[in-house]
Amino acid sequence: MTASLPPVITIDGPSASGKGTVAARVAERLGFHYLDSGSLYRLLALHAKQRGIDWSDEPGLAAAAAALPVDFSCGGMRLDGIEAGNIIRSEEIGIGASRVGALPAVREALLARQRAFRCLPGLVTDGRDMGSVVFPDATLKVYLTASAECRAERRHKQLIEKGESANLPQILHDIVERDARDAARPVAPLRQEPDALLLDTTALAIDQAVDQVLGWFAARQVSGQ
């Protein structure tokens, strides 16, 4: 980490691994800013759907990404001035986010916007390439994962609690497919970086995972890394 820059904790990992919940709670405990990078891709997928831009139209999506009318102030997540936090959590938009996120021009267009979130006192961010591409000089890099079956069960429970219909076998199938797609994409593929610490949450409660990340970060601060 460059000494003059605020500290960053990156938490990367596959879909439904719990990285968003862990990252948000770590940020809260530390008093840091929080960036859910996946929300940018979900918002772009939703924006494209609303504007009739195909999720495979790379030039059109890149242009839309560069001017994406999003606002994260006051704890909200607004697209064109309309709260979109719940809308973008649908399975359809999640699939769209994975598709648009595989396009090099789209990732490049959103890169500067993500880096702009780095400010004092620090930032916790989760995604799939936060430690590898967006913040390669992060203070602490964590690769958070869980078994595909565990992740499918978690997603299924979330959907049921929201009152939405959910088919567990289909969710598992979608997660396995998304893992393969994210790992195989030519730009910023999903993978554990050599300097990222592995955190498997299959058998861990959220609080245990949060405490582990905080312990690792405290150790880095003490060692001056």
Instruction: Give the residue numbers of the binding site for ATP.
Output: 13-21
The CATH architecture annotation of domain 38-120 reads 3-Layer(aba) Sandwich (3.40)
What is the pLDDT at residue 222? 79
Between 133 and 186, whose confidence is greater? 133
Q: How far apart are CA 221 and CA 214, in angstroms?
A: 10
Establish whether domains 7-32+121-219 and 38-120 are of one fold: yes
* Token representation of residue 16: 């439904």
How crowded is residue 103: how many other Cβ atoms within 10 Å of its Cβ?
21
Helix ranges (H only) for the chain are 19-30, 37-51, 58-66, 91-101, 104-115, 148-161, 168-184, 206-223
Hey, what CATH topology would domain 7-32+121-219 get?
Rossmann fold (3.40.50)
Instruction: Give the residue numbers of the binding site.
Output: 13-21
- The residue ranges of every structural domain in the chain are 7-32+121-219, 38-120
**Residue 74 pLDDT exceeds 80:** no
What is the pLDDT at residue 2? 43
Q: Regarding beta strands 78-79 and 82-83, do their DSSP bridges make them parallel or antiparallel, or are they unpaired? A: antiparallel
**Residue 73 pLDDT exceeds 70:** no
pLDDT per residue over 159-179, tens digit each?
Answer: 898 888 889 999 999 999 988
What is the pLDDT at residue 4? 77
- The mean per-residue pLDDT over the stretch 60-88 comes to 86
Q: What is the pLDDT confidence band of residue 10, given thresholds at 50, 70 and 90?
A: very high
What is the pLDDT at residue 38? 85
- The mean per-residue pLDDT over the stretch 177-191 comes to 83
What is the pLDDT at residue 3? 52
Question: Residues with Cβ < 8 Å from 8, sequence gap 6 or more?
Answer: 1, 118, 122, 123, 124, 125, 135, 137, 138, 139, 140
**Residue 187 pLDDT exceeds 80:** no
Establish how many alpha carbons lie within 13 A of residue 48's alpha carbon, considering only the half-sphere containing its beta carbon.
Answer: 28
What is the pLDDT at residue 152? 95
Query: How far is the first Cα of the chain from the last one, in angstroms, to the nearest whole number?
Result: 7
pTM of the entire predicted model: 0.82
